[in-house]
Amino acid sequence: MRYIITILFFIFSIQINFSQNQTIESNLNGLVLEVGDTFMPESFVKNFDGTTRNCETIIYYNKKGVFNVGGSIVQDPSTGKIVANEPGKHEVVAVCVDSRNNGDRLSQTFIVTVNYTKTKSVKIEVSDEAFAGSYVPLTYKSVTANGNERNDLIANINSSNTDIVSVDSNGLVKALKKGEATLTVEVDGVKATKKIKVKDSPVISLNISVSSNSVRTGDVVTLSSKMLGNKGKEINNLNPTYSFHGVSFDGSSSASGLVKENKFVADVSGLYTVNAHFGNVTSSTKIKVTDRDIKRDIVQLGTGDVFDKHTSDAWFFEGVDGKDYGVSGTFFDGKAYFWDVTDPTNITKVDSIKVDARIVNDVKVSKDSKICVITKEGASNRKNGFVILDISNPSDVKVLSEYTDGLTGGVHNVFIDNNHVYALNAFGNPAKFEVVNIEDPKNPKGVGKFELELGSAIHDIWIEDGIAYTSNWKDGLYIIDVGNGLAGGSPSNPVAVANYKYKTGANHAAFPFKSKSTGKFYVVLGDEIFPEGVDFFAANETTGFLHFVDFTDLKNPKEVARYELPGYGSHNFWIEDDVVYAGMYNGGVRVIDVSGELLGDLYKQGREIAAFKTGSPNGFIPNNTMTWGSQYFKGHIFYSDFNAGIGALKLLDTKPDNSNTMQFTTDKSFDSLFGAKNLLEFFEILASPPID
């Protein structure tokens, strides 16, 4: 049979090639279907002289490809029919494979339009009662004849009485005065109506109060209101809305801050007015905000230089012998270095280990300081996994064993907890971590694994109190019980407790911390973004920031704050005693005050205590700071820098000498700035109508 086909091809191939003047004609051209329709495509080849012929083999496919095809448009292989699954304009490619094409490609793309079936009804959700002066939330959906719900259509919304209920050009509905009006929502020619009864606002008076009238930038103020109705009766079942405006003490800066629910925080020092509204009733009060004033000096004590290659993760620990040590990974040749950091002003390399890998991305040390685990990527035999080291004597490190089962594709990050190694198989599908028992470190045994959904990603893992926090790029944070007991999980049976996704889709690291000052439980999620890609041999641009998510209620996480350093991106970080020690790549080490309640933009709020650029003139890329991560250890801030190795910093008690820099005015300067004789007069000068 194979010979026959080959001979046929040979015979056909000597025919004159007309394919350049040939086209594919098909009944797919201009085809319009509705969702759920099927259609048998019929296509033929039209020659340059107008004659036609059938094609030996014609293949149809959706130009979006197999990974996107599921819900849109497909060809049923059993019938050959096109099946329209999703609305839109789909590109269906017809490829004619025919010996008469003489090796030339003959294909045609047809646009097939698939429409929703028409709207059959409209669902609207809106309260049937509203108070005068209030906006009325309204949502709507159209329901098609085959039951699909759509919220992508723009409706025409009208009020039967615009003196009672108005509808603005954005479709926002506002109750104006007492009476009744009917709202009509029209989608695709189909209408739905809802009668709204507008009542007079029950609130006659409103009195705002704040938890403090004098705070620093970044301090969160709680707002509350007392609302009174007829005969002075207090109203407790309704909530006002809050807003603010303000004037900065610095004439060249704008007052800025944030109101979220009943919380207010200011970014810059100034005088702020916070307002409570209900209907047409408003109440205001003033809050004076001064600079946070927490800057401190920071100095470099010493470095452990690695200039001939990139340095990756580092870990610092007290050794079995009571001295202090560090271990750092590298890129390019599978090496990890061990350092004596007992005297941070004299960091000394005491040993190194080389494994069959290109990248040792992550290094971790067990709590008893006897075991170190280093990761492998780029092994020559493509068996990566991780290596377990005996570091009882960090000056004489020994390989105990290697573990590769299920991890051959490469391990990017690991964590050691309670005699188990949690190792990420970042490139598998499903993405997963393997749990390996190392009670006998010479004979590690796989005991469990945690797999995410197909197509998900996983990048990093951190474990505290039997809870694993995995960072999963676009899939956000997973909180997994691996022995805490919260959800019955164990190392051999990890159980997911919560998942939190966010918009940047770049979740690279996670660090849990319980605020000492407030008792709230946060998980800080760090992005990693290289907008221009990575060049290992040149300086790189980075972006991304730290997301502070309040997980006090595990089932209801709320992202409340961010630390975003303009021009620089986040990487690995450490939190201790309400202070973040962040490796901000080309932004260096940043020390950030996260005491108190957190809300809004922490950088703008002046919460940064100190900053240090860790690059070296002799670095792998000279003078290019690229702080990988940092760790607070025994009163020092240790770090690793991608281009320079490791180092130690010390935060001093002294404040930076800014005598030669421009100073912002503070409350002492009120008079000179605004001409006021006292604070009361100053408030009056600044008084202005509240923001509605």
- Residues in contact with other proteins by CB under 8 A are 2, 5-6, 9, 57, 59, 61-67, 93, 95, 97, 99, 103, 105, 107, 109, 332-334, 354, 356-359, 377-378, 380-382, 406, 408-410, 412, 425-432, 455-457, 473, 508, 528-530, 533-535
In whole angstroms, how close is the CB of 402 to other proteins at the nearest point? 13
Cβ-contact 562, 522 below 8 angstroms: no
* 15, 28, 93, 50: CA torsion to nearest 10: 20
**CA–CA separation, 150 and 144 (whole Å):** 8
Give the nearer residue to other proteins in terms of CB position, either 112 or 130.
112
**CA–CA separation, 526 and 630 (whole Å):** 13
Give the nearer residue to other proteins in terms of CB position, either 259 or 431.
431
Name the one residue in this structure whose structure tokens are 């404040």: 655
Give the nearer residue to other proteins in terms of CB position, either 410 or 483.
410
Give the nearer residue to other proteins in terms of CB position, either 457 or 546.
457
Give the nearer residue to other proteins in terms of CB position, either 175 or 359.
359
In whole angstroms, how close is the CB of 437 to other proteins at the nearest point? 18
Give the nearer residue to other proteins in terms of CB position, either 17 or 285.
17
**CA–CA separation, 316 and 318 (whole Å):** 7
In whole angstroms, how close is the CB of 330 to other proteins at the nearest point? 10
* 142, 143, 146, 148: CA torsion to nearest 10: 80
In whole angstroms, how close is the CB of 637 to other proteins at the nearest point? 24
* Residue 686, phi then psi, degrees to nearest 5: -85, -10
Extended strands (E) in 341-440: 348-354, 363-365, 371-375, 386-390, 398-403, 411-417, 420-425, 432-437
Give every CB contact of residue 538 below 8 A, 6+ residues apart in sequence.
621
Give the nearer residue to other proteins in terms of CB position, either 293 or 405.
405
Minimal CA–CA distance to 308: which of 622, 624, 619? 619
Cβ-contact 180, 159 below 8 angstroms: no
In whole angstroms, how close is the CB of 315 to other proteins at the nearest point? 20
In whole angstroms, how close is the CB of 380 to other proteins at the nearest point? 4
**CA–CA separation, 587 and 565 (whole Å):** 8
In whole angstroms, how close is the CB of 334 to other proteins at the nearest point? 5
Name the one residue in this structure whose structure tokens are 């028992």: 437
Give every CB contact of residue 380 below 8 A, 6+ residues apart in sequence.
356
Cβ-contact 198, 132 below 8 angstroms: yes
Token duo for residue 532: 């221009």
Give every CB contact of residue 592 below 8 A, 6+ residues apart in sequence.
563, 579, 580, 582, 602, 607, 608, 609
* Residue 567, phi then psi, degrees to nearest 5: 90, -10
In whole angstroms, how close is the CB of 409 to other proteins at the nearest point? 4
In whole angstroms, how close is the CB of 411 to other proteins at the nearest point? 12
Give the nearer residue to other proteins in terms of CB position, either 10 or 135.
10
In whole angstroms, how close is the CB of 505 to other proteins at the nearest point? 11
